[in-house]
């Protein structure tokens, strides 16, 4: 099968397109013929070796964890899925080896869910990591109807999904972003506010009584500003900075569950959630996709189209 491979830890220049054996499908696993995946910052951070202590790599390593495709084979002891099922999911394993920058990958049934008919393949390939992360972050701070929720880095992959889920719950959403992304956020129902110096004062003008919850998808002083703006520390969550716990906040390192994937699928089916695509690349241009991701200036998702 065709795959993008890292022969050793390194950056975009180390990625090569190669023909490699198809991964074996064992008991309790399904083999997926992939249609699309996406590039997330965690992909190139893992590729550089930054996550080796938590998720070691086995080389040659195929990056990627987001998955959208068709079940091609079902191993023994698997119930609930059959050959031909269209699915999406997140196939992170304890060791990085058989990723999703490839024509095929293996998954365990709890890592995937059925793709809604109104979710196209590109969007399905970009949904799982950002969708589950946003959902678990909002659950951690119990974001609900009537709340005012700040979403920091609201135009990014996680932020854009968090805005939509919070709006679907009936919350008012304040989204921090650069000025060029303000119209983009308004289209999703958020009230944009410029990040950077003076952010605290701008939030206080918008929400004099203080916001109810905050989701930090950028790091830096986002959590601190949220608390100073009046958010109870227990309702501040970061998906990028574990140090938020030092201030009484919460930290979420997403772990996929079938329940969360099904929840996302239901939001898509109800037309309460879409996956904005920033750029789409063919699999062979994965290195260019990494470089685009590393600029930190994309909004929405970078997708790799496989077939």
Instruction: Give 172-224 pLDDT, tens digit per residue.
Output: 999 999 999 999 999 999 999 999 999 999 999 999 999 999 999 999 999 99
Q: What is the pLDDT of residue 296?
A: 81
Q: What is the pLDDT of residue 235?
A: 98
Which stretches of the chain are DSSP H helices? Answer: 41-47, 121-140, 157-168, 182-187, 199-206, 222-228, 258-269, 286-294
Q: How far apart, in whole angstroms, are the C-alpha atoms of residue 293 and residue 285?
A: 13
Is residue 261 in some structural domain?
A: no
Q: Are 18 and 32 in contact (CB under 8 A)?
A: no
Q: What is the pLDDT of residue 300?
A: 85
User: CA nearest 287: which of 302, 276, 301?
Assistant: 302
Is residue 268 in some structural domain?
A: no
Is residue 256 in some structural domain?
A: no
Low-confidence ranges of the chain (pLDDT < 50): none
Q: For the segment 283-295, what is each residue's pLDDT rounded down to a tens digit?
A: 999 999 999 999 9
The pLDDT > 70 percentage for the chain reads: 100
Is residue 258 in some structural domain?
A: no
Q: What is the CATH number of the domain that holds 162?
A: 3.40.50.720
How high is the mean pLDDT of the chain? 97
**Would you state the structure tokens that stand for residue 231, as one six-digit string?**
């958010």
Residue range(s) defining the domain that contains residue 183 = 130-251
Is 69 found in the same domain as 104? yes
- Regarding beta strands 86-90 and 66-74, do their DSSP bridges make them parallel or antiparallel, or are they unpaired? antiparallel
Q: Is the peptide bond before 60 cis (omega within 30 degrees of 0)?
A: yes
Q: How far apart, in whole angstroms, are the C-alpha atoms of residue 29 and residue 93?
A: 12
In Å, how far are 11, 50, 65, 238, 254 from 158, measured between CA atoms? 23, 21, 15, 11, 11
Q: Give 91's contacts (C-beta < 8 A, 6+ positions apart).
A: 32, 65, 67, 99, 100, 105, 106, 107, 108, 111, 112
Is residue 299 in some structural domain?
A: yes
Is 201 found in the same domain as 109? no
Q: Report the number of secondary-structure helices (H) and strands (E) in the chain.
A: 8, 17
Q: What is the pLDDT of residue 298?
A: 80
Q: What is the CATH number of the domain that holds 60?
A: 3.90.180.10
- As for how many domains the chain has, the answer is 2
Is residue 265 in some structural domain?
A: no
- Regarding beta strands 96-98 and 148-152, do their DSSP bridges make them parallel or antiparallel, or are they unpaired? unpaired
- Regarding beta strands 30-39 and 301-305, do their DSSP bridges make them parallel or antiparallel, or are they unpaired? antiparallel
Q: Are 151 and 291 in contact (CB under 8 A)?
A: no
Is residue 21 in some structural domain?
A: yes
Q: What is the pLDDT of residue 299?
A: 82
Is residue 60 in some structural domain?
A: yes
Q: For the segment 39-57, what is each residue's pLDDT rounded down to a tens digit?
A: 999 999 999 999 999 999 9
CA 79 to chain centre: 27
């Amino acid at each position: 099968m065709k795959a993008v491979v890292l022969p050793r830890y390194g950056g975009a220049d180390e990625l090569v397109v190669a023909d490699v054996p198809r991964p074996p499908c064992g008991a309790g696993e399904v083999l997926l013929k992939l249609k699309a995946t996406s590039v997330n910052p965690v992909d190139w951070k893992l590729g550089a070796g930054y996550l080796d202590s938590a998720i070691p790599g086995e080389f040659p390593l195929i990056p990627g964890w987001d998955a959208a495709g068709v079940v091609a084979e079902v191993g023994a002891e698997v119930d609930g899925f059959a050959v031909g099922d269209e699915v999406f999911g997140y196939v992170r394993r304890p060791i990085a080896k058989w990723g999703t920058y490839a024509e095929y990958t293996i998954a365990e049934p709890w890592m995937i869910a059925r793709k809604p008919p109104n979710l196209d393949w590109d969007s399905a390939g970009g949904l799982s990591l950002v969708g589950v992360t946003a959902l678990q972050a909002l659950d951690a701070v119990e974001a609900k109807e009537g709340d005012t929720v700040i979403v920091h880095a609201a135009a990014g992959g996680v932020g854009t999904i968090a805005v939509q889920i919070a709006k679907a719950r009936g919350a008012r959403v304040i989204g921090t972003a650069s000025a060029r992304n303000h119209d983009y956020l308004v289209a999703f129902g958020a009230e944009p506010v410029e990040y950077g110096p003076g952010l605290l004062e701008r939030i206080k003008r918008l929400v004099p009584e203080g916001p109810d919850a905050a989701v930090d998808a950028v790091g830096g002083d986002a959590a601190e500003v949220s608390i100073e703006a009046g958010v109870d520390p227990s309702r501040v969550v970061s998906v990028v900075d574990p140090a938020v716990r030092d201030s009484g906040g919460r930290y979420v390192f997403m772990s996929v569950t079938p329940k969360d994937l099904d929840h996302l699928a239901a939001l898509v089916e109800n037309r309460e959630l879409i996956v904005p695509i920033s750029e789409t690349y063919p699999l062979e241009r994965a290195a260019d996709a990494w470089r685009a991701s590393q600029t930190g200036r994309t909004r929405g998702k970078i997708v790799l189209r496989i077939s």
